[in-house]
Amino acid sequence: MKILQLNTNHCREAQDLLWLTLAENNVDVALLSEPYEHINSHSWMSDSERLAAIWVVTDKFPQCKKPIPDSGDSWMKLDSVYCVSCYAPPRWPLETFARMMTVLELELRGKRPILVTGEYNAWSRTWGSMHTSPRGRLVEETFAAMDLVLRNTPRIFTFDSCRGRSIIDLAFADRVTANRAKWRIEKFIHTQSDHLAIIIEIQEDRRNYERWKTLQKWKKTAFNAGTFRSAWDDAYLSAMSADGMGENMAAQIKAACDASMPRCRYGGKRKPTYWWTAEIADMRKACFKARRRATRARQRPTFKQMRDGANTDPWGQAYKTVMQKMKGPRSPQPTCPQLLQQIIVALFLAQGEASDAEYGIDAIPNVQPVTPKEVLNTLKRVKDCKAPGPDGVPNIALKTPDVRKPIPCFPSRTNLPEAIEIAAIGAAT
């Protein structure tokens, strides 16, 4: 998701130019401060005093939105991320600003993941100002209590005019979102405002635990035997080849399982912790690398050990090490098709087809077909707690079909469906 943070400075030309800026940079959401006018659209939302606004300019539909009362703040949830836009005018006294920060903290408590942007007209050494003002100290304390981190690059100015430069447009996010967000100043975007355009890109989290991933297996604890029997009785199994019969029966069993129990869903149980950062990931990677080196060095014999072992075992590790050094690197394998064909012809002589009678193999005798009773007796011996097969169907579902429902029997034990043969090979391995 691509986000534009901008203070239009209550300028009509700046808001008119905003349309072009959003289109040229493929922006999804605009978090604005001091908009010139309100846009009558479901994708636009601003606070009661119209000091801060959020504008969705793509086809993304806000999941929920709300202006925060008695403050210049408003928030909107997009792609499971809470986007907040704030503005505190410099004319506000410190008491009003403190009340705004308190209301903001109470409103956003428990909302994760979250991105808070806006202009607070606050200065602090934390984000590169020359001094720390009372507002800046209050902003630091509020967002520290909310466990949000600053995304601004220190000493990068966001306000540039003839009156001077300063850092007053800030962006805060929770630790997980901060690791996925990229913050940068776009100096080449003309905004017709004293404030520079800020682009924030939030990368998609592959471990996003709110995106459910449906697995193949079913939740057998919620199995309904009556529903399964009804779905199985309504199934139609037509007579066809062995492979077709096996595929048809497997599809009918899966349909009955879907009707009688829900599928297991993976919700990302290993949620990313709030304290995880890129620096910790780099240190973890370096630690694993050092541990592997130490393990290999401990397992590798020293020169003294190989020298002493050469007397007792002349063909041991010392001999293998010396021969490996003498042989040098392996030569590349041949890849020429003509050369490989000559090698195959020289090594493997061509032979004609031979019948089973030449090798003394008797013809396969008449084998009785597989009966439904034999299938049911085999299923009774299967335990419910055993792991399912490759299709993921629980064993308790396979033992549920009533005897009154005819189970298709395969005409020969030597001509089983391909799916059953694959399952048998997987179980044997």
DSSP β-bridge partners for residue 4? 30, 199
Residue 54 tokens, joined: 């959020």
**One digit per residue, pLDDT tens: the chain, 429 residues?**
899 999 998 898 998 888 888 888 889 999 999 998 888 877 888 887 888 999 988 877 777 777 777 677 888 888 778 999 999 999 999 999 999 999 998 888 888 889 999 999 999 999 989 899 999 999 999 999 999 999 998 889 999 888 889 999 999 999 889 988 999 999 888 888 999 999 999 987 554 444 444 456 788 888 888 888 887 777 666 656 667 777 777 888 888 888 888 877 655 555 556 677 777 888 888 998 998 888 887 777 777 778 788 888 888 888 888 887 776 666 677 778 888 888 888 888 777 776 666 656 555 566 677 777 787 788 778 887 787 777 778 888 877 765 445 555 555 544 555 555 444 434 444
Rounded-to-integer distance, Cα 271 and Cα 387, Å: 27
Q: Which residues contact 119 (CB under 8 A, 6 or more apart)?
A: 7, 33, 34, 86, 87, 88, 168, 169, 170, 195
Q: What is the pLDDT of residues 299-355, one digit of tens each?
A: 777 777 787 888 888 888 888 888 877 766 666 777 788 888 888 888 887 777 766
Q: Which residue ranges make up each domain of the chain? A: 2-202, 213-267+367-428
Residue 113 near residue 151, CB atoms below 8 Å: no
The answer for 238, left when phi > 0, alpha when psi is -120 to 50, beta otherwise, is beta
Rounded-to-integer distance, Cα 311 and Cα 292, Å: 31
Other beta carbons within 10 Å of 274: 15
Q: Measured between alpha carbons, how far is residue 82 from residues 71, 177, 246, 299 in Å?
A: 17, 10, 50, 52
CA atoms within 13 A on the CB side of 411: 7
DSSP characters over 328-346? -SPPPPP--HHHHHHHHHH
Indicate whether this model's pTM tops 0.85: no
State the CATH architecture for 2-202: 4-Layer Sandwich (3.60)
Give the 3-state secondary structure of residue 110: coil
Q: What is the pLDDT of residues 229-284, one digit of tens each?
A: 887 777 666 656 667 777 777 888 888 888 888 877 655 555 556 677 777 888 88
- Long-range CB pairs of 345-353 (<8 Å, 24+ gap) are none
Rounded-to-integer distance, Cα 344 and Cα 256, Å: 52
Q: Measured between alpha carbons, how far is residue 20 from residues 17, 308, 390, 422 in Å?
A: 6, 79, 54, 59
